[in-house]
Structure 1
Amino acid sequence: MIVAGADGCPTGWVVCRRDERGVLDIQVVKALADICEGLSILAVDMPFGLLDVPRRGGRDCEQAARKLLAGRASSVFPSPCRPALECGSYAEANAISKKLGIGLTQQMFNILPKVREIDELLRQRPGLRTILHEAHPELAFARMNGGKPLPSKKRKPEGYADRRRLLVAHGFPVEIDRLPGAARDDILDAVACCRTAQLIAEGKATCLGATDVRDRHGLAMNIWF
Structure 2
Amino acid sequence: MIVAGADGCRTGWVVCRRDVDGTLDIRVLKTLAEACEGLSLLAVDMPIGFIDVPRPPRACEVEARRLLPGKTSSVFPTPCRPALGCTTHADANALSKSLGIGLTRQTFHLFPKMREVDALMRGHPALQAIVREAHPELAFARMNGGKPVLSKKRKPEGFAERLALLARHGFKWTPQTLSGAAHDDVLDAIAVCRTALLIAEGKATRLGPEHDRDRHGLPMNIWY
Name the TM-score class by shorter chain.
over 0.9
In structure 1, what is the equivalent of residue 174 of structure 2? 175
Distance 1:177 1:83 in 2: 40
2:4 maps to 1:4: yes
Query: Where do residues 65-104 of structure 1 align in structure 2 (5 Å cutoff)?
Result: 65-104=64-103
CA RMSD in angstroms, aligned pairs only: 0.7
Q: Tell me by how many angstroms 1:178 deviates.
A: 2.1
Percent identity between matched residues is: 67
Write out per-residue CA displacement over residues 124-174 of structure 1, whole angstroms, 9 at most, x where no aligned residue.
Answer: 000000101000000000000000001201111100000000000000001
- The one-letter code sitting in structure 1 at the alignment partner of 2:6 is A
Q: TM-score, normalised by structure 2?
A: 0.99
* Structure 1: runs of 5+ lacking an equivalent: none
2:126 maps to 1:127: yes
Distance 2:92 2:85 in 1: 8
Query: Where do residues 26-175 of structure 1 align in structure 2 (5 Å cutoff)?
Result: 26-56=26-56, 58-175=57-174
Secondary structure of the residue that 1:175 maps to in structure 2? coil
Q: Tell me by how many angstroms 1:35 deviates.
A: 1.8
Q: TM-score, normalised by structure 1?
A: 0.98
Q: Tell me by how many angstroms 1:203 deviates.
A: 0.2
Secondary structure of the residue that 2:27 maps to in structure 1? strand
Distance 1:208 1:26 in 2: 27
Q: Tell me by how many angstroms 1:34 deviates.
A: 1.1
Q: Is the 8 A contact 1:177 1:187 kept in 2?
A: no
- The one-letter code sitting in structure 2 at the alignment partner of 1:168 is A
Secondary structure of the residue that 1:198 maps to in structure 2? helix
Secondary structure of the residue that 1:122 maps to in structure 2? helix
Q: Tell me by how many angstroms 1:104 deviates.
A: 1.1
Write out per-residue CA displacement over residues 27-66 of structure 1, whole angstroms, 9 at most, x where no aligned residue.
Answer: 000100112111010000001110001015x211001000
